[in-house]
Chain A
Amino acid sequence: MSNDHGHHHKQSFISKYVFSMDHKMISKQFLITGIVMGVIGVAMSILFRLQLAWPDTSFPILNWLFGDKWAPDGRLDSGFYMGLVTIHGTIMVFYVLTAGLSGTFSNLLIPLQVGARDMASPFMNMLSYWFFFLSSVVLMSSMFVETGPASGGWTVYPPLSALAKAMPGSGTGMTLWLIAIILFIVSALLGGINYIATVLNMRTKGMSMNRLPLTIWAFLLTAILGLLSFPVLLGGGLLLMFDRLAGTSFYLSDIYLSGIGALEQSGGSPILYQHLFWFLGHPEVYIIIMPALGITSEVIAVNSRKPIFGYTAMIISLIGISVLSFLVWGHHMFITGMSPLLGTLFLIMTLIIAVPSAVKTFNYLATLWRGSIRFTNGMMFAIGLVSLFITGGLTGIFLGNAALDISLHDTYFVVAHFHLVMGSSAIFGMMAGIYHWYPRMFGRMMNKTLGYVHFWLTFLAAYMVFFPMHFQGLAGVPRRYYTFDILPEFAPWLDVNVFITLAAILGGIAQLVFLYNFFSSIFFGEKSVQNPWGANTLEWTAPVEHIHGNWPGEIPTVYRWPYDYSRPDSDSDFIPQNVPDEGAVEEVHYAPQTPSAPEHEDVPERVMFLGLLKNWFGFKNA
């Protein structure tokens, strides 16, 4: 087992920094790659926002960046505009907020917070990162092919994605997009299998499921969601690949395209793709937001110096969100001609998700209530998440309504909704995590003043960018349009677009502050003490140096839950999980000795399987 890390190897540069199998290094690799992809994604959004705000103005920078083909005279080509929108969405959803967020913090925190020497399989963990890296490279290379990147929107609906000749962006760029996503899915599965196995199988002594920090619960459920939903996109993507490359027609019905004539391919259904896509796509938004919510739970509890309010309710609501997230994908497809009965079912399920989400936000607020709040940078971002999550969540109730969605579908209202509820708030969760665990990663503190500047600029920019979009959407302004010249009804919104673009540029500048702070603090930041925030969880008991196996001696044993803050019976305002609980009644029940024993699998299958069932249903000793 990977527990046996008795001896130290002298590591070469390659095995320490490149093909590292150490979860702490892999988490940094995910983070840095995520940040690089994030910079690209945000920059793209600013570039295409220039077009929306000043459609007739020439920007030499665009010409300089994209050349005469994609930005003749400094104006974005309309096809390339769609490409930028598509790749922006893909990068932010998958590469930054799935791999960058989950990959970073699951890798860093799971072994450290559950008390394991490393991930269950460090080798698969390394593969997971390198598949992700390869996938990023393939995706970015699609920007450089002759026909441009995929440009059918990040959901790549057929027929634009299935017919290579439908438009320039449906060509090689689209094929590369699919290859990138398939590599990404492999990475996500390798990672997810590891996270689940580590959390369930490798907790240290005393770390029962009801002593797990909420971060770990969130990462566990996120991994389960990914494990069950990504394969469906894999199947869907496989069929799409055949439609593109081998002339099948799974997603193509009898259609005519101008200039191409009647298709030879027919007999399939584009709606089938949408079902397969959104069966991943909806859980995917929870894959994005749940780690952020877990991080927020931890950061808010630590910095309020109070136990998290409703620990069990938090877990149950996470489980509720996870289960419901598989039953609501149809709310992305209300306008596909879905039967009203089915639409109503999806509607009801969607609105029920508001309940666990509300439980979580109220619990955050109740944790803050009368706490001794310390406004650290991480805490600011965590509170920012709560704010954005509420604002964005409320419009989810509008959009979940089938009747309202018919008029709001594909307008800026939708853009506003998901950018607030899962885009910005997940970014805020990620930032909270970075500021909070930075000392754990690098042994140094980030500059607090710059952190405040970063927070306030980002927070204001997020609202200034996305809040006006609600009104645009309600007025019917459609998303993904290159220009509104031919639609005079939308002319009044041009001024608003200028405002939004200026705010987006402000938000982009704010991220430069963060980048400077992040990278300079690695080398010049103030040295951190072992446990700078006075937190209870196990990661603060391990040395910051990258030692193989996390703890030099024995792994600490856990005696209490992670939220013993400000206990009236204690002098210290926090009691780490590894401090023995002298007052508590030892509630460990030792199971009676069963005849089967060794840990290795010489137990017959039959005994194992039945034993498992008996354990689960409580008949162990019957």
Chain B
Amino acid sequence: MSSNAVNTLPTWAGGRSPFRVSYGKFMMWIFLLSDAFTFSSLLVGYGAVRFSFPEPVLEEISFGTNLHEKYHDGFVEMLQAKGVFSESHWPSPDLVFNHFPFLHGLHLPLLFVSLMTFILIFSSVTMVLAVEAGQRMQQKKVALYMFYTILGGLAFLGCQAWEWTQFITEGATLNSNPWGPVPFAALFFIVTGFHGFHVFSGVVLNAVIFTNVLKGTYEKRGHYEMVEKTGLYWHFVDLVWVFVFTFFYLI
């Protein structure tokens, strides 16, 4: 049957897809919906634990202060002594996420995570460009933008690895936390870890699709739908990061 005829059938009357999508892409949408619920359950769990603690004690420190010079690497201990970091209070994210690679000792709250967020969102932009080039059947452009997307994903994972390393060297593990309540660190590792696992899967998927693009598989197939499907997944991972970012770093 010719596809033109199919699309003139009434939307819901059978014999065609009511959403005018292939079943594969539709399944990706459904999967993302259910995955959204998985992340929701983790974030709801985070919220439940987080809000069972009193609000963080704040401490004004101007942006860019050289903590290394001022406190001789005793910054955390100083805040512990002052009672800003204590078992009974959730720590203020500004005071925890204040490191930046190669700028040791400077107080740069949320600068690094902003960079990570920028990288991930930028990789979503290149993904859109890849999908768009796919619709125009421009193999070389698809390959180029897919490559950028993979690069962005790897860069994000690298940043995450650095951030985790920083955390662990400061003494945070699944059951210890120098900045206050233990669940803070545990939730951080599990939720960002679960997200990072999604990014990693996305990079693997993108790499597979990328090699197929290079081989010309989709050129032969006549359409780049697979690029769109992984694109949907990639945007979803990006969207989830926005929520993770908001809940862990901003609130």
Interface residues of A (CB under 8 A from B): 1-2, 114-115, 120-121, 124, 189, 192-194, 196-198, 200-209, 211, 227-236, 238-239, 242, 246-250, 264-269, 272, 275-276, 279, 557-558, 588-591, 593-594, 596-605, 608, 611-612, 615
Contacts and interface: CB of A to CB of B under 8 A. Distances in A.
Contact of A201 (B10, B23, B181): B23
Given A1-B23, A588-B13, A189 B190 contact: no
A599 B183 contact: no
**Best-buried of A204, A239, A596 by chain B (most CB within 10 Å):** A239
B183 A267 contact: yes
B34 A227 contact: yes
B26 A201 contact: yes
B101 interface: no
Given A236-B41, A242-B190, A601-B21, A265 B15 contact: no
B59 interface: no
B22 A248 contact: no
Contacts of A208: 10, 12-14
A185 to B, nearest CB: 9
Interface stretch (B63-71, B116-124, B222-230): B222-230
A250 B186 contact: yes
A235 B38 contact: yes
B37 A600 contact: no
A605 B41 contact: no
Contact of A205 (B14, B37, B194): B14
Nearest to A272: B48
A246 B174 contact: yes
Interface in B1-21: 3-4, 6-21
B141 interface: no
A321 B95 CA distance: 47
Interface in B165-200: 174-175, 181-183, 186-187, 190, 194
Nearest to B131: A605
A120 B27 contact: yes
A248 B174 contact: yes
A254 to B, nearest CB: 11
Interface string B86-110: 0000000000000000000000000
A308 to B, nearest CB: 20
A596 B135 CA distance: 13
B41 A232 contact: yes
A193 B183 CA distance: 34
Given A203-B15, A601-B22, A235 B8 contact: no
Contacts of A589: 10
A597 B182 CA distance: 57
Contacts of B187: 250
A325 B131 CA distance: 38
Given A208-B14, A248-B174, A601-B228, 19 more contacts: A189-B34, A192-B30, A196-B30, A197-B23, A198-B23, A202-B17, A206-B14, A207-B13, A207-B15, A231-B40, A235-B42, A250-B45, A250-B186, A272-B45, A558-B14, A599-B17, A600-B223, A601-B223, A608-B20
B52 A269 contact: yes
A595 to B, nearest CB: 11
A611 B20 contact: yes
A114 B49 CA distance: 46
Nearest to B19: A612
A480 B10 CA distance: 56
A396 to B, nearest CB: 26
6 contacts: A193-B30, A193-B34, A232-B40, A235-B39, A242-B190, A590-B9
Contacts of B183: 248-250, 267-268
B182 A193 contact: no
A250 B14 contact: no
B175 A599 contact: no
Nearest to B186: A248
A203 B41 CA distance: 33
A115 B34 contact: no
B179 to A, nearest CB: 13
Contacts of B15: 203-207, 557
B24 interface: yes
Contacts of B37: 228-229, 231-232, 235
Minimum-distance CB pairs A-B, first 4: A235-B41, A205-B15, A207-B14, A203-B14
A600 B3 contact: yes
A602 B41 contact: no
Interface string B50-72: 00100000000000000000000
A479 B20 CA distance: 52
Contacts of B75: none
Contact of A603 (B20, B23, B30): B20
Interface of B: 3-4, 6-27, 30-31, 33-35, 37-42, 44-45, 48-49, 52, 131-132, 135, 174-175, 181-183, 186-187, 190, 194, 222-223, 225, 228
Nearest to A271: B48
Contacts of B194: 238
B135 A604 contact: yes
Contact of B13 (A202, A206, A229): A206
B134 to A, nearest CB: 9
A234 B8 contact: no
B23 A238 contact: no
Nearest to B128: A605
Contact of B41 (A231, A588, A604): A231
A600 B222 contact: yes
Contacts of B48: 269, 272, 275
Contact of A247 (B13, B21, B135, B175): B175
**Best-buried of A193, A228, A596 by chain B (most CB within 10 Å):** A193
A275 B223 CA distance: 45
Contacts of B49: 250, 267-269, 272
B193 to A, nearest CB: 10
A200 B41 contact: no
A204 B6 CA distance: 11
Given A205-B13, A242-B190, A197 B27 contact: yes
Given A232-B40, A248-B174, A265-B175, A615 B13 contact: no
A24 to B, nearest CB: 19
B23 A597 contact: no
Given A205-B14, A272-B49, A193 B31 contact: yes
Nearest to A229: B37
A597 B34 contact: no
Contact of A602 (B12, B23, B223): B223
B18 A200 contact: yes
Contacts of A242: 174, 186, 190
Contact of A279 (B6, B10, B41, B175): B41
Contacts of B228: 601, 605
A189 B38 CA distance: 12
B99 to A, nearest CB: 24
A207 B9 CA distance: 12
Contacts of A205: 9, 13-15
A130 B35 CA distance: 21
B133 to A, nearest CB: 12
B27 to A, nearest CB: 5
A599 B225 contact: no
Contacts of B181: 267
B23 A231 contact: no
**Best-buried of B7, B13, B21, B131 by chain A (most CB within 10 Å):** B13
A250 to B, nearest CB: 6
Contact of A593 (B8, B19, B222): B8
A121 B24 contact: yes
